């Protein structure tokens, strides 16, 4: 075989939003596949805010991408060639395939590689039927334990994760408030059943939230951190659960530490809990969640939308969309 692979490697550590010049688009020829390896033709790449953090030279839950390495990202591809008994030609495969058109790898469990059933469209599999759905499901249901009638607030509510959280909260009989940026996203949230919305880009959350959440907040699913988290802590109810999923308002660019709330004392007064979590811990036992999510999708109870950019040359700009809020739904790139 002789395959031309185009790959983005990290050239220098970005500051703030990434620039094409932080990376280099390299073309290489792949000509040999060794025992235990598979060769994938990458089809879709998943873009997740955490990828920006992996580009910093800072400790995290995974090692930083090193200068000269292919940029790490999840994605799906089809097996073109295999010298690994667990993968056969044509298998649809998920894993850290990276910002490249092909992926020659010896699949390791650490890189999340696994064959996935070829049942639903790939964008759906990378969204609600992938880590996005699993994050929302376990974060809200297992850690939040929502009960009918409780008030659930979600920031980043129109994004990939947030939009699944708000809908599951509605399915559980909760009153749901969503915070998102811009009119279009707020209107879409109303369409999928969110009770109240706040457009944080065009209103003052600090003033609006207490007016809308007159009965307080029982569960806060936090995707953004920073000032909004601090505002929410002022109005949580007794026994509230604050679920720390992400802190994207910090930009994940390591130029400054994430803003911390200065009113943690509120957790004492309200006998509340605040808990961070990572989806990686739930992946090994995600099957029941995926079955329930699939049922909701098939029955039309769970809406999902994917924002699909195209072309390997657009990887850096596609990552930025998550931080400018341009993405409408799960950010993907079709190769």
List residues binding ligand NAP (CB under 6 A): 48-50, 132, 135, 156, 158-162, 180-182, 185, 223-224, 245-246, 248-249, 277-279, 322-323, 325, 327, 331
**Taking CA 36 as the corner, what is the angle to CA 8 and CA 29, rounded to the nearest 5 degrees?**
35
Q: Give the helix/strand (H/E) hosting 6.
A: strand 3-10
Q: How far is the CB of 196 from ligand NAP (least distance, A)?
A: 15
Which lies closer to ligand NAP via its Cβ, residue 87 or residue 138?
Answer: 138
Which lies closer to ligand NAP via its Cβ, residue 113 or residue 282?
Answer: 282
Q: How far is the CB of 96 from ligand NAP (least distance, A)?
A: 15
Greatest distance between any 2 Cα atoms in the chain: 66
Q: How far apart are CA 63 and CA 206, in angstroms?
A: 36
Angle formed by the axes of helices 160-171 and 287-298, to 10°? 80
Q: How far is the CB of 27 from ligand NAP (least distance, A)?
A: 30
Q: How far is the CB of 16 from ligand NAP (least distance, A)?
A: 12
Q: Give the helix/strand (H/E) hosting 46.
A: strand 38-46
Which lies closer to ligand NAP via its Cβ, residue 106 or residue 112?
Answer: 112
CB atoms within 10 A of CB 79: 18
- Distances, alpha carbon 16 to alpha carbons 13, 152, 252, 329, in Å: 10, 32, 8, 22
Q: What share of the chain is helix, strand, coil (3-state, %, to 5)?
A: 30, 25, 40
Nearest to 165, CA basis, from 126, 196, 194, 122: 194
Which lies closer to ligand NAP via its Cβ, residue 264 or residue 278?
Answer: 278
- Cβ pair 241, 144 in contact under 8 A: yes
Which lies closer to ligand NAP via its Cβ, residue 77 or residue 133?
Answer: 133
Q: How far is the CB of 134 from ligand NAP (least distance, A)?
A: 8
Which lies closer to ligand NAP via its Cβ, residue 24 or residue 142?
Answer: 142
Q: How far is the CB of 202 from ligand NAP (least distance, A)?
A: 11
């Amino acid at each position: 075989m002789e395959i031309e692979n185009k790959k983005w490697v990290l050239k220098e550590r970005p500051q703030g939003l990434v620039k094409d010049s932080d990376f280099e688009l390299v073309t290489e020829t792949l000509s040999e596949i060794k025992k235990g390896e598979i060769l994938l033709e990458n089809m879709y790449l998943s873009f997740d805010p955490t990828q920006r953090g992996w580009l910093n030279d800072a400790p995290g839950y995974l090692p930083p991408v090193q200068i000269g390495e292919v940029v790490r990202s999840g994605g799906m591809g089809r097996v073109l060639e295999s010298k690994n008994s667990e993968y056969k030609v044509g298998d649809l495969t998920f894993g850290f395939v990276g910002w490249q058109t092909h992926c020659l790898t010896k699949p390791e469990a650490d890189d999340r590689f696994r064959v996935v059933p070829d049942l639903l469209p790939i964008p759906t599999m990378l969204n609600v039927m992938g880590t996005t759905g699993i994050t929302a499901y376990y974060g809200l249901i297992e850690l939040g334990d929502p009960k009918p009638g409780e008030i659930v607030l979600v920031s980043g509510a129109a994004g990939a994760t947030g939009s699944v959280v708000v809908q599951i909260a509605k399915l559980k009989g909760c009153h749901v408030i969503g915070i998102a940026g811009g009119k279009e996203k707020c209107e879409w949230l109303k369409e999928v059943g969110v009770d109240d919305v706040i457009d944080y880009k065009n209103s003052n959350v600090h003033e609006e939230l207490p007016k809308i959440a007159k009965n307080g907040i029982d569960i806060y699913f936090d995707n953004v951190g920073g000032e909004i988290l601090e505002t929410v802590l002022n109005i949580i109810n007794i026994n509230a659960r604050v679920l720390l999923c992400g802190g994207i308002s910090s930009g994940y660019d390591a130029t400054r530490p994430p803003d911390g709330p200065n009113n943690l004392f509120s957790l004492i007064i309200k006998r509340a809990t605040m808990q961070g979590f990572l989806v990686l811990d739930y992946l090994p036992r995600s099957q029941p969640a995926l079955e329930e999510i699939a049922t909701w999708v098939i029955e039309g109870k769970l809406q999902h939308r994917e924002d699909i950019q195209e072309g390997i040359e657009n990887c850096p700009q596609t990552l930025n969309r998550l931080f400018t809020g341009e993405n409408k739904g799960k950010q993907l790139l079709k190769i």
